[in-house]
Amino acid sequence: MVAHVARHLLGIAGVPPGEEPRAYAWEKRLHAVMIAIALISLLAFYLTEFSHSHELFAIGHLLEWAIFVGFSLELVWMTAICKQKIRYLRSNWLDVLIVLCAGLALVGVETEWVALGRLLRLATVALLLTRAMRPMRTLFSPGGLPYVAVLAVAVFLVGGGVFYWLEPTVRSYADGLWLAFVTAATIGYGDLVPTTTASRLFAVLITMVGLTLFSLVTASVAAFFIGEDEKMLRRQMHQDVQRLKEDVARLFTEEEALLRRELHADVRRLREELEKLRREIEKLGREPRGGPTV
């Protein structure tokens, strides 16, 4: 109950109760897509704020448009298929705020309101990451390890490409992947190190993401083993319940058989007594009745 109220207050409650099954199915389908879009916001913010290249800034701006379009389409589609449209928007006010902030930031990027645009983009990134936390609860379930693995591979592949792009000492994409891994794992062998300001800032980001991912892997592995223990306990409890049912059924069967035997014995004795009583009555009926003589 507390978690349900907290999700409503944070604006990440999702599809409200009592909706059509199609709404819940679409919400589940869009979880992974919205997580990916939310994580892209980090790269878009980095490219638009810290990149000195006009080409990289243009790519970041395109990514911001993609994020805006993605969340707008999700919000419009989910609102359209929900019967309780006002309730859905009220329960997911964070999505409305994300679309609004992203739209305002995109409109104000090229205007004199540069400070406001940067603030809105930063706020949008924070809102997107908050929005991504709701579907990411699946990662902490016993079956969440494959999702964590896929997410980690995607992060390393992107990180390797970015390091290959930003770091002049990285001569190949393989070296970029290696630098992304050792940075995310906080190993730091020293064979490859970030030397430019852009690559160092990206290394800070990769380190934060890497620590989070390795924590998720640990949590997922722990959840997996805990889930296996729970399954074993459930099987044992099910077997105990089955044995208990069998014992109770056997006791009822034995008790029923005993009652039947006693009932048959009582009926037999009752029949014998009735037969004995009938014979005595017949015997008395055949005897001559005595009376006064004249």
pLDDT in tens, 135-175: 555 555 555 667 677 777 877 888 888 888 888 888 888 88
pLDDT at 138: 56
pLDDT at 126: 58
Q: Would residue 291 count as lying in a domain?
A: no
CATH number of the domain residue 207 falls in: 1.10.287.70
**How many domains would you assign to the chain?**
2
Tell which residue, 191, 186, 157, has the closest CA to residue 174: 157
Q: Are residue 173 and residue 111 in the same domain, yes or no?
A: no
pLDDT at 234: 80
Kind and range of the H or E run holding 88 = helix 85-91
- Positions in the chain short of pLDDT 70: 1-10, 12, 49-51, 105, 108-145, 147, 220, 223-224, 227-229, 287-294
Contact of 57 with 47, CB cutoff 8 Å? yes
Query: Of 138, 161, 196, which residue is a domain's last?
Result: 138
pLDDT at 121: 53
Angle at 200 between CA 51 and CA 158, to 5 degrees: 70
Query: Of 138, 162, 190, which residue is a domain's last?
Result: 138
Q: Would residue 290 count as lying in a domain?
A: no
The reply to whether the predicted model has a pTM over 0.85 is: no
Domain extent at residue 204 = 141-270
pLDDT in tens, 20-64: 888 888 888 887 777 777 777 777 777 776 667 788 778 888 888
Q: Amino acid letter at 154?
A: A
Q: How many residues does the chain have?
A: 294
Q: Are residue 125 and residue 157 in the same domain, yes or no?
A: no
